[in-house]
Amino acid sequence: MACDTHDIARDRFMLTGGLANQGYDWWWHSFTGHSEKTGEERSFFIEFFCINPALGKKAPVFGQLPLNKELGTWPSYVMVKCGTWGKDARQIHRFFGWDEVEVGTGTPFYVQADDCFVCETDLIGEVNVSEQATQAHPEWMCDGGQMIWDLHMDKQIPFNVGYGASTPMRSSEVFEMYWHAEGMKTAYDGFVIYNGERFRVDPATCYGYADKNWGRDFTSPWVWLSSNNLVSNRTGKRLGQSAFEIGGGRPKVGPLALDRKLLGSIVYEGTPYEFNFSKPWTGSTTHFDCRETQDEVIWHVELETFNAFLKVDASCPKDEMLLVNYEAPNGDKKHNRLWNGGTGTGRVELYGKRGGSFFLIDDIAARNIGCEYGVYDEDL
C-alpha cells in the first residue's frame, strides 16, 4: 500500500475490546487563521480525546484527582482540547462523561458531545473556561480562555503507514501506540473566534493538518514534525502539492521497545517518498537528535532508504509553544515536559539515489511546522 493512499477506515473509533477498558483515541486538527480585524496570523489546534469508555460514568472521571490517585481509579471521559500557539500560547479543555457522548463507531466516524462535533469533514464546537475555574480544578490540566469554531475539512494528502496500522495489527493490539494521518495536508474553511476575536480560516492559507493516534500508552521520546507550507529554495516556487511528516520515538511491539525509530513521508509535488521502519525491504534507517536550549526546541532528522534520503532541520521558540497535558489510560501523567508547537520553521532537503550516488531533488524552506518533542519524567 502506497504511503499516500487514503483510508478513512483508520479514522474510525478504535476503543473496542481491551482498549475500551484501557485505551485512548484522539483526532487532532491544526491550522492557521487570520484576524478579520487586523490580518494577524495565528495558529490553532482542536482535538477530540477519548479515554477508557468502558469505565465511564455519568460525569467525567479524572485520574489526576488526589483521591482517584490514592484509590487507583483510572480516567474516563471525552476531552475537547483546543487552543493556540504563538505569544500567549494556551490549551483549553472541556470534559464530558460518556453518558453525554454519542459516537459513530462505523466508517465514516463521528463524535458528538453537546455542541461539540467532529467527523471526517466537519469540526464544530466551543470551549469556555475561566481562569478561576482552572485554579480550582488542576485536574483539568488547562488554561483559561474561550474558543468557538465552525470548520469544513478537505483532507487532501494522507500519510498511510501501511501494515503497521492495518486491520490485523489493530485487532491484535500488538503496538502500544498507533498512528494514521488522513490529512497530512488538509484544507480548512470556516472561522474561529478566540477570546472574542474572529479569525478567518481559508483553504489556501490555513496550512492545515489532521491525524489520529490510539493505543494503550504513549511513547518516550515523542517526536513529531509536519508542514505543508513549503517553498523551494532553488526556484522560489511555492510547493502547493507537497507535504512532509515525521513521527515516532520508541515504539513498542508487545513488550519489546524498538529504540529510536521514526516513520516519515514527503509527498513532493505529487510524488511520494516513504521512510518506514516497518518495511525493512526498503532499507529504511533513522537518525535523529532533538534537544532543548534555553529559548527553543531543535530537531535534526535523517531518514534514508535504498531510493531516497530526507534531512530535516527545524526549530521552534519555546515562548510560542505549550507543555501539552495528557493523562495515560492507567491514570499516570508520564509526560510533564512534552513540548508542542505549530509555528516551527526549518529546512527540508530531499535527495534521490542513482547508481549509489545522491542527487538533490529539492532544498525546501518550511514554515508553520507542527512540532512535538518530549520524554517521560523517568527518562529525563
- Among 233, 150, 230, smallest CA distance to 185 is for 230
Instruction: Give the length of the chain.
Output: 380
**Four-CA torsion 123, 74, 57, 23, nearest 10 degrees:** 40
pLDDT at 278 (0 to 100)? 85
Mean pLDDT of the chain: 95
Write out the three cell numbers for 302.
535523517
pLDDT at 86 (0 to 100)? 96
pLDDT at 101 (0 to 100)? 98
Q: pLDDT-based confidence at 168, cuts 50/70/90?
A: low
**Rounded mean pLDDT of 144-157?**
98
**Rounded mean pLDDT of 238-242?**
98
Q: pLDDT-based confidence at 377, cuts 50/70/90?
A: confident
So where are the chain's domains? 8-379
Cβ neighbors of 116 (< 8 A, separation 6 or more) are 48, 80, 94, 96, 124, 125, 126, 127
Predicted TM-score of the model (pTM): 0.97
Calpha distance 340→325 (Å, rounded): 10
Q: pLDDT-based confidence at 257, cuts 50/70/90?
A: confident
Q: What angle do CA 196, 369, 191 make, to 5 degrees?
A: 25
pLDDT tens per residue, range 187-230? 999 999 999 999 999 999 999 999 999 999 998 899 999 999 99
Tell me, letter by letter, the H, E, C secondary structure of the chain. Answer: CCCCCCCHHHHCCCCCHHHHCCCEEEEEEEEEEEECCCCCEEEEEEEEEEECHHHCCCCCECCCCHHHHHHCCCCEEEEEEEEECCCCCEEEEEEECHHHEEEECCCCCEEEECCEEEECCEEEEEEEECHHHHHHCHHHCCCCEEEEEEEEEEEEEEECCHHHHCHHHHHHCCECEEEEEEEEEEEEEEEEEECCEEEEECCCCCCEEEEEEEECCCCCCEEEEEECEEEECCCCCECCCCEEEEEEECCEECCEECCCEEEEEEEECCEEEEEECCCHHHCCEEEEEEEECCCEEEEEEEEECCCEEEEEEEEEEHHHCEECCCCCCCCCCCCCCCEEEEEEEEEEEEEEEECCEEEEEEEEEEEEEEEEEECCHHHC
pLDDT above 70 (res 380): no
pLDDT at 183 (0 to 100)? 98
Higher model confidence: residue 355 or residue 351?
351
In the chain, the amino acid numbered 258 is: L
pLDDT tens per residue, range 99-126? 999 999 999 999 999 999 999 999 999 9
pLDDT at 249 (0 to 100)? 87
Counting residues of the chain whose pLDDT is more than 90, the rounded percentage is 88
Calpha distance 330→73 (Å, rounded): 8
Write out the CATH class of domain 8-379: mainly beta
Q: Give strand pairing partners of 372.
A: 224, 340
For β-strands 41-51 and 252-253, DSSP reports them as unpaired
**Rounded mean pLDDT of 76-85?**
98
pLDDT above 80 (res 379): no
Calpha distance 267→286 (Å, rounded): 18
pLDDT at 305 (0 to 100)? 97
pLDDT above 90 (res 135): yes
Q: Among 23-32, 38-47, 173-182, 221-230, which stretch is predicted with the lowest mean pLDDT?
A: 173-182
Backbone dihedral region for residue 201 (phi beyond 0: left; psi -120 to 50: alpha; all else: beta): beta
pLDDT at 166 (0 to 100)? 66
In which residue are the cell numbers 470551549 written? Answer: 127
pLDDT at 170 (0 to 100)? 66
For β-strands 261-268 and 271-276, DSSP reports them as antiparallel
